[in-house]
Amino acid sequence: MNIKILTQFPEMFAAITSESILGRAADKGILNIELLNIRDYSTDKHLKTDDTPFGGGAGMVMQCQPAFDALKAAGAKGKRTIYMSPRGKVLDQTMIEELSKEEDLVILCGHYEGVDQRIIDEWNMEEVSIGDYILTGGELAAMVLVDSVSRLVPGVLGSSESLAEESIYSGLLEYPQYTKPREYEGLNVPEILCNGNHELIHLWQWQESLKLTKKRRPDLFEKYLKSLGKLSKKEKKILDEVLNSEE
Ligand code: ADE
């Protein structure tokens, strides 16, 4: 996958490009992240990239010229282009899965009061938000998108970071995990995880996921119930227990 990121702060992206999983994927040639500094494309003698908004108001707006030229340099025509913005569609795992199937992505990060609307319109940009809060710029949001999309690109995660488990439980929050030692300062790992009965372990994990999701994310829980296929007798019993519990 090729990801081109247009930003005024390329150095911020060291946080994800040098990180072990994405760094390794880049070395293997699976993931190619290219940073274009919008300032480098400004034809202004002071390398200015923004100006005050027409109609007045506070803040500065990114100008068309440097953005258009950076987008041309990125070969953005015909590619999926995204503008990180709190106005956009909120990123979720479904959108992330869909984006991970693209061969090319171009991402524009804005700052201050945003960008000239003609950039978004002319380059057919999808606006994507990472949540209902305002960041000082699109860079952190772009890093969240790139990190979450990249890990779904085949070959990016090694076998030790496998996605297999997640897909089985997709739609539910993850069950609690434990590691060695079995007892730490009097705190014990649940007995069932240590007895080697894989069927019982899986049922216990599923039950814990159901309980957590019902309690913390009733919205996800409802969605999960609607998507459920046929259950075995044992699974049905567990689900009924969770549905009928007061917790
Ligand atoms: N830029 C500023 N806030 C943002 C957000 N919540 N999501 C995406 N881009 C942003």
Summarised one tens digit per residue, pLDDT across range 114-152 is 999 999 999 999 999 999 999 999 999 999 999 999 999
Q: What pLDDT was estimated at residue 243?
A: 98
Q: Which residue's alpha carbon is nearest to atom 5 within ligand 1?
A: 86
CA of 89 to the centre of ligand 1 (A): 11
CA of 76 to the centre of ligand 1 (A): 21
209 lines ligand 1 (CB under 6 A): no
Q: Which residue's alpha carbon is nearest to atom 7 within ligand 1?
A: 129
The torsion of the CA quartet 24, 25, 26, 27, rounded to 10 degrees, works out to 50
**What average pLDDT does this structure show over 15-21?**
84
Interatomic CA distance for residues 207 and 200, integer angstroms: 10
Q: Which of 69-83, 152-166, 180-194, 215-229 has the lowest mean pLDDT?
A: 152-166
* Alpha carbon of residue 235 to chain centroid: 31
**What average pLDDT does this structure show over 191-200?**
97
- 164 has pLDDT over 60: no
Across the chain, what does the average pLDDT equal? 94
Give the percent of the chain with pLDDT over 90: 87
What single DSSP character describes residue 13?
A: G
85 lines ligand 1 (CB under 6 A): yes
**What average pLDDT does this structure show over 225-231?**
94
Q: What pLDDT was estimated at residue 168?
A: 47
Neighbours of 42 (CB within 10 A): 20
Q: What pLDDT was estimated at residue 236?
A: 97
Please, are residues 111 and 8 in contact by the beta-carbon 8 Å criterion? yes
Which residues are CB-neighbours of 34 under 8 A, at least 6 positions away?
2, 3, 4, 5, 74
CA of 109 to the centre of ligand 1 (A): 9
Q: What pLDDT was estimated at residue 134?
A: 95
**What average pLDDT does this structure show over 11-39?**
91
130 lines ligand 1 (CB under 6 A): yes
- 169 has pLDDT over 60: no
- Beta strands (DSSP E) in 59-192 are 61-62, 80-90, 104-109, 126-129, 183-184, 187-188
- Reported confidence tier of residue 74, pLDDT bands at 50, 70, 90: very high
Q: How far is CA 189 from CA 137, 180, 230, in A?
A: 43, 9, 31
